[in-house]
Amino acid sequence: MSIRRDLSFLADDRKEKLDLYEPSERAADVKSPAVVIIHGGGWVKGDKNREREYVTGTSLAKAGYVCISINYETRSGKRWPNNLHDCKNAVRWLRVNAEKLKVDPDRIGVIGGSAGGHLALMVAYTGDQSRYSPEGPYPGVSDKVGACVDMYGITNLLTRKVAQEDGTPTEELKEHRLFSGSREKYPAKWRNASPVSHVSKDSPPTLIYHGTADEVVDRDQSKELHRALQAAGAESTLRMIPGAGHAWPLKTSKFDFTGEVTAFFDKHLVKSSTAAKKVNVTKKPNVLFISVDDLNDWEGALGGNALAQTPHMDRLFSQGTLFTNAHCSQAVCNASRNSLLSGIHPSSSGWYGSTTDMRNSYDRVMGDHKMLPQHFRDNGYRTMAVGKVFHQGVSDYKDKTDDFWDETGPKYKVKGELLERGHGYGGKHFYPFPKEGSQITNHYGMSHRDGNSLCAGPLDREDMPDGKMYDEMIAEWAIEKLDEDHQEPFFLAVGFVRPHVPFTAPRKFFDLYDPKKIVIPEIPENEMEDIPVMGKSIAYGTIKGGDHHAVVSLSDSYWRELIHGYLACVSFVDDQVGRVIEALEKSGHAEDTIVVLWSDHGQHLGEKHTWRKQTLWEEATQVPLFFKVPGKKGAKSDQVVSLLDIYPTLVDLCGLPEAPKLEGESLLPLIINPETSRGRPVLNTWYYGNHAVRSNDWRYIRYRDGSEELYDHRNDPGEHTNLAGNPEFSSIIAEHEKWLPEKDVLPPGKTEWNSDKLDRRVEDWKSNDSIPDWLQ
């Protein structure tokens, strides 16, 4: 890239100049998008070549943008609206010189920080409005822009507050130095100079950054703007950066937003598909959408268990972007999958666990919004599915299955003796059970049949319907589809069932592991001592007397046997994933197919004295999440991300129209640059009103009774020490609780919250002083 400094863009007698940043290599027939960079300085000082502006200009120029960083009028008595006019004239200068600069005049954006953010927003929201546009020196030239990035800018002069040192806004209103006259005497003037006053449905897309510890521009300014844009129906993304103060550039020692900003401008200023340009795809890519049920981080690439043998997934993970800190919305199959596929969080939909409730409220919750496969189908894709994609297979909604899929694979048929081994366990796709049936039921009797799936054992071919596990049938069907010629782009969903309980798999996968080398998780004796009673109620599980009590009481070896079974199932499903990926590589579709691999939630194996996924702790919420995008090399991102982000990411990557109700954020900036920092934590929910907020370094849990947990993942990745009662961490809690829902949607059919089994268990324990010893 090259820089030319102090070029004139205003009248000849003006001292205010611009610096021009240009890409070093451009084809002669290519016209570049452009960005105007506006400096901060409280409207009274600042410079076009400060660190923030320089980092922005060089970063965007290296990404193919022509950038101009400008100085504007800052003299007292002449600032407003002359400073705004100067910024608009910079946009006009780009258009007047578009041919010479090889700039596309229809693709111009604006970015600014602090007072520069205020001016950038004013430019964006008052484009071509004669009341706010200058008369010269470029009469008749448009000053409209197509996208805006605002960094901690002032958005409403009338509501701007004084902030405390930690960034907490007070009730005291703050004065300014933009123009003379008080808000009480000249409210219209203050209002008209506030970007939020000019928001409309036609406002250009806006990306807003703000540090939570900003003591100069209170963080409520950005939140107010974001709400106004959303209410107007304009596109807005708000990124609150935990602990960040005021006036920082796009890239610091703690974070790097250059990739995200570039991706934002790419999306809104590049005429053709952003994803197509970034990943060298010339037509809509295919999507191979692989889900693995109950898979935690026990893969070699994620290091959750040193014994785990997963060569096929490890190889795949080396070929794209592996998100090592990904989490589900709710750690149970139906809620997690319907959240991912709808793009809506359970606390917004009320879909906490009952599939019947989901069916009954589908039209109300979804409205004109569509499930992910339907959105692809309605936009030119051939959609195919096999296995467990939704909770109950290829669909949880029989009357809508044909809206989702053009073609679906076979179900698993289990009969006779093989079915009897499960003692009536629901969901035939989870079979077969161990040779002798469930160890839980065999040992404790049918009174414990609620836990009969918590069992493990190797299988021979005669123990499987037609000699095959369901996951093997799923892989075979997917391979057949990949071998076919497709005249239109395809979306192929492949939903593997293992390692979901029961932990059964072909014997050779059990033989991969030496039982003597299997170790149980390291758990302190007082592991449950600092857990609130609601957390204990969740950990209890479903088996009569409690899951963990049943496991450790069955035999001295059963804990290890279950871990052995889980490891075998992980290796078994890894083998099936490998078969499908190998078929893709041989099919001729590999160069134009996006591969996504995800799990709906994790799985406890005795940690926190629990054996389910249904908790708010790390083992339950953390999942593998992987994207292989043509043209992108292998990399890892440790930024905390959500399964809710899958839907908007695929929309971005495939150039589809935006869907109206998505609550996640596209991961495209992290795929482009995995080192990009992301300030938004993930919200996990378990039943109504129980939440965890997982940020990069912390997990904060708030139960519906107000009790809390806090874990420092930098020093306590196993979440053994609850810090919530330590006043030293009150500011950390305060920062995380801001991400809790303002209001939880009640489960469908309820008009008020009463109680559920968790509450009733707690009440019983308290009234009888009967919390089990193993949960004390």
Q: Distance (Å, rounded) from C-alpha 274 to C-alpha 266?
A: 6
Per-position b or e across 125-162, b if 16+ CB within 10 A of its CB: bbbeeeebbbeeebeebbbbbbbbbbbbbbbbbebbbe
Of 349, 682, 719, 697, residue with least CA distance to 539: 719
Helix (H, G, I), strand (E, B) or coil at 312: helix
Contact between residue 637 and residue 321 where contact means Cβ atoms under 8 Å apart: yes
| H-type alpha helices, 256-303 | 258-269, 274-278
Strands 698-702 and 691-694 turn out to be antiparallel
Indicate the DSSP class of residue 732.
H
Kindly state the tokens that stand for 439: 């160890």
The two structure tokens encoding residue 499: 């390692």
**Strand 708-712 to 698-702 pairing:** antiparallel
Beta strand spans in 429-568 (E): 456-459, 490-496, 503-506
Locate 700 and state its tokens.
């904060």
Catalytic annotation, pick one of 391, 429, 609, 736: 391
The residue whose two tokens read 């609550």 is 663
- Residue (of 314, 309, 396) closest to 354 by Cα position: 396
**What residues does 407 pair with on adjacent strands?**
384
The token pair that represents 717 in the structure block: 């990745």
Q: Are 94 and 68 in contact (CB under 8 A)?
A: yes
The pair phi, psi for residue 702, each rounded to 5°, is: -125, 115
List alpha helices for 598-698, DSSP H.
Answer: 618-621, 646-654, 668-672
8-state DSSP, 154 = -
Catalytic residue among 67, 328, 333, 569: 333
> Are the CB atoms for 484 and 478 separated by under 8 Å?
no
β-strands 32-38, 66-70 pairing: parallel
> What's 680-702 look like in SS3?
CCEEEECCCCCEEEECCCEEEEE
Helix/strand/coil for 481:
helix
Give DSSP secondary structure letters for 50-83.
Answer: SHHHHHHHHHHHHTT-EEEEE-----TTT-TTHH
Is 333 marked active-site? yes
Q: Which residues are marked as active site?
A: 333, 391
